[in-house]
């Protein structure tokens, strides 16, 4: 299917691995010019530069990081047609429950999972308004089932989901569409890294990481019986970014193998 994205421009955050990396690959495959932002430019991201990606290292948890990133993206691309707010995480050491999380941990998680998107969107919106562009925020199904993960992380994602709906209402009449994609457990570093959240959670439960990940689909009620693949999420993001989704805005698209049972 031709998504009619050829020649358009995009900024993708959190692009060094996982869903962000897969999104950069999906958009460049459609002929887009993409600025790919990551705290660390990974070898996998560097490999995509031959396909039209421009890798920019940046820490979006720093308050002025998003503005500097958007300025650099506009210098490289001219204008922005699409913004994908994918950067997130910071939940790797949040396995001890609510009472183990102090103000510093809450602030760090919200900076990365909410305020990075707020600041990047604020900086990018003038260009998106000029282009009649689209924003896709990557949240989590944990926003719908906040007990299923660390409280700072799931509540930050719930705020991100509400942020997207509010933006869609305000800027839809001005030609900018805003949608949210909410994956369930995906085959990313969060679960597969030896020092990620999954590994720490497994250790706290007396399990190996492999045992925890193998049991995760059943534990989470994923009727597909497997983790979500990053490329599956990226394909949904690419569609929502495209003119084919011109009447889709203000929506939260769950992609979690059936884990969330409510409508």
Burial of 64 (0-12, 13-18, 19+ CB in 10 A): exposed
Residues 87 and 180 in one domain: yes
The answer to whether residues 71 and 108 belong to one domain is yes
In this structure, are 80 and 134 located in the same domain? yes
- Closest by CA position to 24, among listed 54, 63, 62, 3: 54
> Which residues are known to be catalytic?
153
Q: Provide the residue range defining the domain that includes 210.
A: 185-227
Whole-prediction pTM = 0.95
134 and 97 in one domain?
A: yes
Q: Is 1 within a domain?
A: no
- The answer to the question of residue 66 being in a domain is yes
Judge whether 24 and 87 are in contact, CB under 8 Å. no
Structural domain includes residue 2? no
> Which tens digit of pLDDT belongs to each residue from 122-163?
999 999 999 999 999 999 999 999 887 889 999 999 999 999
Domain count across the chain: 2
pLDDT in tens, the chain (263 residues): 899 999 999 999 999 999 999 999 999 999 999 999 999 999 999 999 999 899 999 999 999 999 999 999 999 999 999 999 999 986 656 767 888 889 999 999 999 999 999 999 999 999 999 999 999 999 999 999 988 788 999 999 999 999 999 999 999 999 999 999 999 999 988 888 888 888 888 888 899 999 999 999 999 999 999 999 999 999 999 999 999 999 999 999 999 999 999 86
């Amino acid at each position: 299917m031709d998504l009619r994205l050829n020649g358009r421009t995009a900024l993708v955050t959190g692009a060094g691995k996982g869903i962000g990396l897969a999104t950069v690959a999906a958009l460049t495959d459609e002929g887009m010019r993409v600025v790919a932002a990551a705290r660390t430019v990974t070898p996998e991201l560097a490999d995509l530069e031959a396909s039209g990606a421009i890798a920019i290292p940046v820490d979006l948890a720093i308050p002025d990081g998003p503005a500097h990133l958007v300025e650099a993206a506009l210098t490289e691309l001219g204008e922005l047609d699409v913004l994908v707010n994918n950067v997130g995480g910071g939940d790797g050491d949040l396995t001890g429950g609510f009472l183990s999380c102090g103000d510093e941990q809450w602030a760090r998680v919200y900076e990365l999972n909410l305020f990075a998107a707020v600041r990047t969107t604020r900086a990018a919106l003038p260009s998106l308004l000029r282009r009649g562009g689209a924003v896709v925020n990557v949240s989590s199904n944990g926003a719908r089932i906040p007990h299923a993960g660390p409280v700072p992380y799931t509540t930050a994602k719930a705020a991100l989901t509400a942020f997207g709906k509010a933006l869609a209402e305000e800027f839809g009449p001005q030609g900018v569409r805003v949608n949210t994609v909410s994956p369930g457990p995906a085959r990313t570093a969060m679960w597969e890294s030896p020092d990620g959240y999954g590994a720490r959670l497994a250790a706290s439960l007396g399990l190996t990481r492999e045992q925890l990940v193998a049991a995760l689909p059943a534990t989470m009620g994923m009727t597909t019986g497997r983790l979500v693949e990053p490329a599956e999420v990226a394909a949904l993001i690419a569609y929502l970014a495209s003119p084919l989704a011109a009447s889709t805005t203000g929506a939260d698209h769950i992609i979690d193998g059936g884990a969330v049972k409510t409508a």
